[in-house]
Chains A and B, each alone.
Chain A
Amino acid sequence: MISKEEVKRIAALARLELSEKEIEKMQKDLSSILDYFDLLKKAPKETAEISAKDMSSLRKDEAVNGEIDKTGKLAKAFPDEKDGYIKVKAIL
């Protein structure tokens, strides 16, 4: 069983505010799910070695130019904006 403190630590990393009740339920659910993952320890190892290349066999980074009119539409979805810019609370 993972501890309540552990659940709170993960929630903080995940930027989730959880109620006391949610923390208790999460403790129970996460414990049984993580226990289930132990199954993977039995999976054969030697043939399973994968290279870093396999794990990121993706594309090269490239810029794809978007359509100009899309920008305005995206800006409309900002919860808080000023002059077409996203407004964010001061961080410092």
Chain B
Amino acid sequence: MAELTELTIRQAHEGLKKKEFSSADLAKAHLEKIKKEDKKINSYLSLTEKLAMFQAELADKKIASGNCGELTGIPCSIKDAIMVEGEKCTAGSKILESYIAPYDATAVKKLKENGSVILGKNNTDEFTMGSSTENSAFGVTKNPSDLDRVAGGSSGGSAASVASGMAMYSLGSDTGGSIRQPASFCGVVGLCPTYGAVSRYGLIAHASSLDQIGPFARNVDDIEIVFKAIAGKDRLDATSADYSYKKSDENLNGLKIGLPKEYFAKGLEKEVENIVRNAIEKAREAGAEIVEISLPSFKYALACYYIIDPSEISANLARFDGIKYGLSEDGDKLLDVYLKTRGRGFGAEVKRRIMIGTHCLSSGYYDAYYKKAQEVRQLIKKDFEKAFEKADLIFCPVSPFPAFKIGEKTEDPLSMYLADIYTIPAKLAGLPGLSLPAGKIGKLPVGLQIIGNHFQENKIISAASQIEKLLS
């Protein structure tokens, strides 16, 4: 039998049902592996061992009474920007270094209700701002495929933990590409759901018109299991939609797949393109119709995003003032408390984005930046609306390049921002996207991005699952 840490959710579920092993066995095997091997990867910021063993015991009791759901007793990890009650939640920031989450995020609460076992909290770029976890105040997460390279970000810890057998699945969050890009870099499946499909209650806010929680897993089947469990309306997140997942039997045969020509242009590394095109060719052989589409406003997406995102950040992160929670630096006056707490608590990228956002929203600049960006966002949305008149799903790369070397892009923020150039447009339109491992350049994994129309995760999952089989 395979090692307990190598099983998929489905395999582990079968094993638990047949009493081949217990949930406690699964939890222990994972915790041991983490303690032994995570020093070199740094995918976890903290372990929640007591909670995990308590949940495993609970799960074993449930299973003994014949009550074994698909996630009952399955060990997972949670990005450290998503709250697990009573456990530390740092968001990768010094300003929240000793913050204890006072309640569960709704997605976490749902996992708990499904009998999940939470092993620990994953590393992330500070406040989920970044594409490599190099912005984490607690060190970079290394890519399990090549320790000299980044795991991607911001949910790099989540992706790396799933890729290296230190969690069977993980919850991350995606604001510009923070699930899809690390999934691609680490060779796991990552789903960024439609805006509103999963409650963000208990996710530490980055940019509220973009933030979305979603799952990482080792195959598409597992992604479906987790997504099903966390999706749906939550009265504590007014933007959450009245939605429940329904399986789709959409067949590749006859499916119209759109290839946006702007995504296959200059800037895309040739070897990445070859891998993505190979996956598309497999779909074509299976009967899919390939149609070229155009997203003419693609070229404005990155600039649009880097105005809207920092603008929302500058407002959202105003709450970190040293008064209500987190780090509090002393000062003579109230203003000094604010300045010192924020000056010392925030890292370079967070400060940079707060500054950009503050500038873009400030009097005299608002129209030129924020309002203009909102207009361009509408153009991008319309591009996708038109594209989905011609295509059922859109196939494209996740990132222009595979995992890059640690330190390669830290000096030049703009070059780092480019890592998300293919994930940002769909996000600005609130669309769901999945990264599916499609091949490797040497030992470096490359993902295929599958974008669907709003709330068509089921179509994405159905197509991804068929392509996964064709590629294996």
Q: Which residues of A contact B (CB under 8 A)?
A: 7, 10-11, 13-18, 22, 25-26, 29-30, 32-34, 36-37, 39-45, 47-50, 54-55, 58-59, 62, 64, 70, 73-74, 76-80, 86, 88-91
Interface of B is mostly: helix
Residues of chain B within 8 A of A70, CB atoms compared: 102-103
29 CB contacts below 8 A, A to B, read: A10-B355, A11-B355, A13-B358, A13-B362, A14-B342, A16-B351, A16-B355, A17-B343, A22-B348, A26-B352, A32-B414, A33-B306, A33-B356, A36-B303, A37-B303, A37-B306, A37-B369, A39-B303, A40-B303, A41-B372, A43-B376, A54-B374, A77-B100, A78-B324, A78-B325, A79-B322, A79-B323, A86-B323, A86-B324
Closest to A91 in B: B334
A79/B325 contact (C-beta < 8 A), A17-B339, A36-B414, A73-B103 known:
yes
| Number of B residues with CB within 8 Å of any CB on chain A | 58
**In contact, A77 and B362 (Cβ under 8 angstroms):** no
A59-B238, A78-B325 known; A18 and B351 CB under 8 Å?
Answer: yes
Q: How far is the CA of A79 from the CA of B307 in the complex (A)?
A: 33
Residue from the list A15, A32, A43 in contact with B338, Cβ < 8 A: A15
Closest to B209 in A: A58
Q: Using known A-B contacts A13-B358, A79-B328, A89-B334, determine if residue A48 contacts B303 with beta carbons closer than 8 Å.
A: no
Q: Are A30 and B351 neighbours in the complex by a CB distance under 8 Å?
A: no
Residue among A26, A37, A47, A70 having the largest count of chain B Cβ atoms under 10 Å: A37
Asked if B351 and A22 make an inter-chain contact with CB atoms under 8 angstroms apart, the answer reads: yes
B375 close to A14 (CB less than 8 A):
no
- Check A14/B352 contact, CB under 8 A, given A49-B375, A70-B103, A77-B102: no
Report Cα–Cα, A76/B302, bound state, in Å: 40
User: Closest CB-CB distance, B329 to chain A, in whole Å?
Assistant: 9
Q: Are B372 and A50 in contact (CB under 8 A)?
A: no
Select from chain B the residue with minimum beta-carbon distance to A79: B328
A70 vs chain B, min Cβ distance (A)? 6
